[in-house]
Amino acid sequence: MLSATRTRIAPIAYALAEFLGAGAVGSVVGCQQRLSLAGALYANARLANCMDLDETFPVGHHFGVAAVVAALALAEARKATGSQLLSALIAGYELGGRVASACGAPLFLKDGCVTGCGLYSCSASVVFAAAGVAIQLEHQNETLARQTLGIAGSNTPVPASTKWAESPDLPDCKYADAGWATLAGVFAARSAALGATGFDTIFDGAHGLIKMSGTECFDSDTLVGGFGSRWMLSDITYKPWPTCRWTHQPLTALAKATAMTNIDPQQIERVIIGTNVWLCTPRFTNPAPRTFCSRQFSIPHAVAMALLGVPVGPEWLDEAQDKDHNVSALRQKVCVENWAPANGFLNHVVRGQVRNMPARATIAMRDGTRIEAETEFALGDPWTRETAYSDKDVIEKFQVVSGLSRSRANHVIETVLHIEAQPNIEPILSILRDA
């Protein structure tokens, strides 16, 4: 959220928050005056996801923003303790993760080939993560919670992910408007509390939510199995770079290659990225991205940013990069090609989640030197010791991308690390407002 206040999306999010009505109830990052609860939910979630720098669940969904934003907004409105916020956040993330796992990845194997879904939704998990937070913080009983889930399902946005992915210039609406989806989840809880009813079997039958989201069939165990023993939080993948998570395996291979020796970008002849066939589609191979979101999905752009040492943050996605000759020249040197060993990644699906995604990066220098590295996992993946993020790694990311002074960043860090002991969450909210 903090980093996104310095992007082109910030004034849009603020204006839409004001459009949702007046009311000094909810804190919005970068706004000293509180806005309406609906405005805070929308703006904060939209900003949290707009850079694609937020954590990702290993089916390609971004619902963590909904859990965090809804927990902050509702805890502020209800004057909840830090412990209550934490419990609600966990409940929301777990519900979102189970819905995401049930939806599965937006691609599958057909006759041995990787195939994308005809329709697919990244929105449902976001809506339900927010709804889960509201159910917990508003102490809904089973009967009321069932109505909340039903209303949340009926208000989930249409499965627009496939339409978005095929756009030549990726638009700001993204695969899901995280702000709108977060608002829909909390709206469902408020509706149920006021007496409205929804589908009390929203996940059941041939026309249940998962099928409506574009998933033809799913294992119900991914949705309801292992309660109390299998935690979605264990599968969080953290992002070092503001790009689509699927590009992080190639970027991790690149990082391993550049760590082997000092590389002068001016002396690079060519960079070859070996990856799966799905990442060889136009939105990922685009050497001249023209929109804010296109830069988040272009592997040539990400490679150029990494090799030129551009700081992770809004600068990566700024349109000024398109006018920089060094950036344009380096983008054109990047070749994204299908690498056969990478195409077996769908053989490593665990409970609907994609794990191993092999990638290779080769840097060919003008003097004939070739530096090459491979990886099966991305930095931030929790399943290997080499890539898993520790608390230290998460803290360092926050210190870099937040834009806060060291002292203010440390204040947030200390508060969050001891959130369960906080009588309220104002120490966090005050810094968000003043950012």
Q: Which of 321, 274, 281 is nearest to 302 (CA)?
A: 321
Q: Which residues of 94-129 are buried (b: 16+ CB within 10 A; e: fewer)?
A: bbbbbbbbbbbbbbeeeeeebebbebbbbbbbbbbb
Q: Where are the domains of the chain?
A: 3-236+404-434, 245-375
pLDDT in tens, the chain (435 residues): 999 999 999 999 999 999 999 999 999 999 999 999 999 999 999 999 999 999 999 998 999 999 999 999 999 999 999 999 999 999 999 999 999 999 988 876 666 666 667 788 999 999 999 999 999 999 999 999 999 999 999 999 999 988 888 888 999 999 999 999 999 999 999 999 999 999 999 999 889 999 999 887 888 999 999 999 999 999 999 999 999 999 999 999 999 999 999 999 999 999 999 999 989 999 999 999 999 999 999 999 999 999 999 999 999 999 999 999 999 999 999 999 999 999 888 888 888 888 899 999 999 999 999 999 999 999 999 999 999 999 999 999 999 999 999 999 999 999 999 999 999 999 999 999 998
Q: What is the CATH number of domain 3-236+404-434?
A: 1.10.4100.10
List CB contacts of 334: < 8 A, sequence separation 6 or more.
Answer: 270, 271, 273, 287, 299, 300, 303, 304
Whole-prediction pTM: 0.95
List CB contacts of 112: < 8 A, sequence separation 6 or more.
Answer: none
59 in Cβ contact with 348 (< 8 Å) = no
342 in Cβ contact with 275 (< 8 Å) = yes
Which architecture, in CATH terms, is 245-375?
2-Layer Sandwich (3.30)
- Other C-beta atoms closer than 10 Å to the C-beta of 144 total 16
